Structure 1
Amino acid sequence: MREILAQAEATLANAGVASPRVDARLIAAHLLGCTPLELSFQRVDVDTFAPDYFQLIQRRATREPLQHICQSAFFGPLELRVGPGVFIPRPETELLAEYAVDTLKKLYQKHRRQLLVADLCTGSGALAAYIAHALGEKVHVVAIELSEDALPYTRTNVAPYSNISLVRGDVSTTMLRGMDMIVSNPPYVPETLDLEQEVYADPHMAVFSGANGMDLIPTMVAAVIPSLRSNGVIMIEHDDSTQEAVKDVLAQHAMSNITGHRDYADKPRFVSAVYSPAT
């Protein structure tokens, strides 16, 4: 097994994969139905294992996303089903999810009732499932997704949660009412050909949003802000070049406490704000 893993790692490294050792071990663990830590204890028929394993390694060497090969992506404590047609959740979005959960806990302590949350452009359902998993019946999450290609994955990922309602809809026209919080990881990347190859395996409509990455966010904000309760909270992930632009959009819509948040790499990653309509 050690020699097989070393050969796979070399193949992936030569292909420019960023984490060849980790990926080689994750693919082997996926094929064997174990965790990477258990690989050293697996008894493997090399003649049976190697052909199937190196077929998957060659797929990864073409820069097919690891998550498509393993058919899953981890998001916080959750393992989500993903594949071609749905956006693969990124670790950076976990920061937004954690902040949303912390904020909702404080809101629940204040109101002592079930809170209504909307997850716009839900994709795999990552944010909706994270919030529903963390807070249980303290929240009800409305997860909204437009793509017919993404929805089968979304349905699978939110199925365990009775406190999630999945809606197929366009976030620029969807009408909601009485929301305590809105969260969104919308398409926000400026159109470019300079990203890692794996990014282009995600659906274009889930990643890119015009020349500056801001084609959708202003329209989405204008459509959904009226659905917030007074003092309701909105959180929007964005490109690291557009935090000020997102703040400006929110400032046009009776929002207060507009705050930028940074990610693990200390780059601007999402904005939160509180709805404060004139009374």
Structure 2
Amino acid sequence: MTTVGALLDEATHRLTSAGVPSPAHDARELLSHVLHRRPMLLARTDPVSADQAERFATLLAHRSARVPLQHLTAEAHFRYLTLAVGPGAFVPRPETEVMTGWAVDRLRERPAGDAPPVVVDLCTGSGAIAKAVATEVPGSRVFAVEVSPEAHAWAERNLADTDVTLLLGDMADSLAELDGTVDLVICNPPYVPLEAYDSVVAEARDHDPTIALFSGDDGLDAIRVLTATAARLLKPGGRLTFEHAEVQVDAAPAVVVASAAYRTVRDHRDLTGRPRFVTAVRTSSPLAGWDE
């Protein structure tokens, strides 16, 4: 029999050697998963049985091979939620929580007497954004769209205890019945340029669905479709927000401006200070502008 401390020290060293970005954190998360205890409740002197140590070693080997932590624990944390995740669905990232928080704040600012807001989450993946909005803005009418059957299955599982309407289909022609009635469209689209394939971290490149990562030579193909779809769905004054890559700090907002369907186009930074998501307001006028 060994101890928590001994296993964590060895595992952290092994994960560091494998190039895992957060070795100490991931070692503790995996061991807490095996022991069915919260990470903060693990004491270094706690005993670990031989069977538990063996199961931990198996998970550690997979993580050293850069299998995502969330695939090994079968869950991901997103804002106040714990979501079921696995192969076939994009693993939610902390960066997306900031954009989702922006959307929640805007929805909460609506006057008390207004009708419940209508929200559309395109490229929903695991359903993380849709569930966060539905949970944090009670009464909102949330619709989620996903084109991948595999990801749709994960979203269906995660959204089963909500009133979110989930659809399997292409965002380009989905939800025509909502045209001109939506208060907010939110999306974490694929945005990695194909030419950047080799620079993508192994956990994402080798395990996240390709369809959720890459989007044409410049990474903007899905954003162009999204911008047009949101213009169709949104009511005048409705809001659009979507995530983008750091290098698209100019190119992503420019797509929205070029559509001439929006005003107050702005770019926002994530918790690390990196350019991360665009916001814009649907205009009823053909004139739109980029408001720095």
Asked if the contact 2:230–2:240 (Cα under 8 Å) also holds between the matched residues in 1, the reply is: no
> Counterpart of 2:55 in 1: which secondary structure?
helix
Structure 2 unpaired stretches of 5+: 287-292
Q: 1:261 matched to which residue of 2?
A: 268
Q: 2:235 matched to which residue of 1?
A: 229
> Counterpart of 2:219 in 1: which secondary structure?
coil
Asked if the contact 2:144–2:167 (Cα under 8 Å) also holds between the matched residues in 1, the reply is: yes
Asked if the contact 1:171–1:220 (Cα under 8 Å) also holds between the matched residues in 2, the reply is: yes
Q: 1:156 matched to which residue of 2?
A: 157
Specify which of 181, 186, 206 is matched with residue 183 of structure 1. Answer: 186
Work out the CA distance in 2 between the residues paired with 1:249 and 1:13. 40
* 1:278 lines up with 2:291 in the alignment: no
TM alignment of 1:4-23, pairs within 5 A: 4-23=7-26
Q: 1:69 matched to which residue of 2?
A: 72
Please give the TM-score of this superposition, normalised by the length of structure 1: 0.95
- TM-superposition CA deviations, 1:230-254 (whole Å, max 9, x none): 1000001111112322222222232
Work out the CA distance in 2 between the residues paired with 1:253 and 1:110. 31
Specify which of 112, 115, 121 is matched with residue 113 of structure 1. Answer: 115
Q: Could you tell me the percent identity over the aligned residues?
A: 36
Asked if the contact 2:6–2:44 (Cα under 8 Å) also holds between the matched residues in 1, the reply is: no
Q: How much has 1:101 moved relative to structure 2? A: 0.4
Q: How much has 1:278 moved relative to structure 2? A: 2.6
- TM-superposition CA deviations, 1:176-229 (whole Å, max 9, x none): 321010000000111221121111110000011112111111122213312111
Paired amino acid for 2:173 = T
Structure 1 unpaired stretches of 5+: none
> Counterpart of 1:149 in 2: which secondary structure?
helix
Please give the TM-score of this superposition, normalised by the length of structure 2: 0.90
Q: 2:200 matched to which residue of 1?
A: 195
* 1:245 lines up with 2:248 in the alignment: no
* 1:168 lines up with 2:168 in the alignment: yes
Q: How much has 1:13 moved relative to structure 2? A: 1.3
Work out the CA distance in 2 between the residues paired with 1:23 and 1:242. 30
> Counterpart of 2:228 in 1: which secondary structure?
helix
Asked if the contact 1:30–1:70 (Cα under 8 Å) also holds between the matched residues in 2, the reply is: yes
Q: 2:220 matched to which residue of 1?
A: 214
Asked if the contact 1:225–1:253 (Cα under 8 Å) also holds between the matched residues in 2, the reply is: no
Q: How many residues align?
A: 276
Paired amino acid for 2:141 = H
* More displaced 10-residue stretch of structure 1: 175-184 or 119-128: 175-184
> Counterpart of 1:89 in 2: which secondary structure?
coil
Work out the CA distance in 2 between the residues paired with 1:43 and 1:225. 57
Q: 1:134 matched to which residue of 2?
A: 136
Work out the CA distance in 1 between the residues paired with 2:189 and 2:166. 16
Asked if the contact 2:15–2:63 (Cα under 8 Å) also holds between the matched residues in 1, the reply is: yes
> Counterpart of 2:183 in 1: which secondary structure?
strand
